């Protein structure tokens, strides 16, 4: 008798478990989907903005980035993921300025900690959400972030200074020559005066000696 009771009890628990499972399944059937059918939906794939896929430099419409090559991001990166070099360039106004030469980033060693982004004083960095980063060799994960050509105005050699007005140049030269001639004449006059004042004194000395 007790075995029949146990049997029906087990059947009841099985039915209850089945209904619980169907309840969960039914709930999921009407819940909005979060799973993406990648790569079929590649064109319409919605990746959240905060997803960190790859470090990039921010560029404006003119192709400028804001990195000044200070190296703070490199110093703060715990993995040595960032290696940058700088160079000296001459600006159009003739002044020299240190600028970023190469900004190398190794995606393979990045832990996406954001230390570089949050400590950059220029707000020059951000993470893209481009998650398709699969490559065949490890070295292809090392990327140059300043890959765009530098805008012309940043690297143009200094413009030559306009030539001086010839008349003004001739006047300056003439004034300089006149001044040099005047100084020379004054020196010669002073030397002659010194010589003439020294001659009588020498003559007096000779006379005294002969006496």
Which stretches of the chain bind ligand SF4, using CB under 6 A?
55, 67-73, 76-77, 79, 81-82, 84, 110-116, 120, 122, 124-125
Q: Are 116 and 82 in contact (CB under 8 A)?
A: yes
- How do 82-90 and 142-144 pair as beta strands? unpaired
Q: How far is the CB of 112 from ligand SF4 (least distance, A)?
A: 5
Q: Are 57 and 145 in contact (CB under 8 A)?
A: yes
- When the beta carbons of 45 and 76 are compared against ligand SF4, the nearer one is 76
Q: What are residue 84's DSSP bridge partners?
A: 103
Residue with tokens 């990045």: 110
- When the beta carbons of 68 and 91 are compared against ligand SF4, the nearer one is 68
Distances (CA, A) of 55 to 19, 100, 202: 49, 16, 92
Q: How far is the CB of 130 from ligand SF4 (least distance, A)?
A: 15
Q: How far is the CB of 132 from ligand SF4 (least distance, A)?
A: 18
- When the beta carbons of 91 and 115 are compared against ligand SF4, the nearer one is 115
Q: How far is the CB of 83 from ligand SF4 (least distance, A)?
A: 10
Smallest CA-to-CA distance from 124 within 81, 50, 51, 69 is with 69
- When the beta carbons of 45 and 142 are compared against ligand SF4, the nearer one is 142
């Amino acid at each position: 008798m007790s075995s029949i009771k146990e049997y029906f009890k087990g059947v009841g628990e099985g039915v209850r478990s089945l209904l619980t499972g169907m309840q969960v399944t039914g709930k999921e059937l009407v819940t909005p989907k979060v799973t993406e059918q990648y790569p079929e939906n590649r064109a319409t794939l919605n990746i959240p903005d905060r997803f960190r896929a790859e470090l990039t430099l921010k560029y404006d419409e003119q192709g400028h980035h804001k990195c000044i090559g200070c190296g703070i991001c490199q110093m703060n990166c715990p993995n040595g993921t960032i290696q940058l070099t700088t160079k000296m360039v001459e600006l159009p106004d003739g002044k020299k300025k240190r600028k970023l030469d190469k900004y190398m980033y190794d995606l393979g060693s990045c832990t996406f900690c954001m230390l570089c982004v949050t400590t950059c004083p220029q707000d020059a960095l951000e993470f893209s959400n481009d998650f398709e980063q699969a490559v065949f060799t490890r070295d292809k994960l090392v990327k140059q972030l300043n890959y765009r050509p530098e805008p012309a105005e940043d690297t143009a050699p200094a413009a030559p200074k306009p030539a001086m007005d010839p008349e003004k140049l001739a006047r300056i030269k003439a004034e300089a020559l006149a001044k040099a001639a005047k100084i020379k004449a004054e020196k010669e006059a002073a030397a002659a005066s010194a010589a003439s004042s020294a001659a009588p004194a020498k003559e007096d000395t000779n006379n005294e000696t002969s006496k």
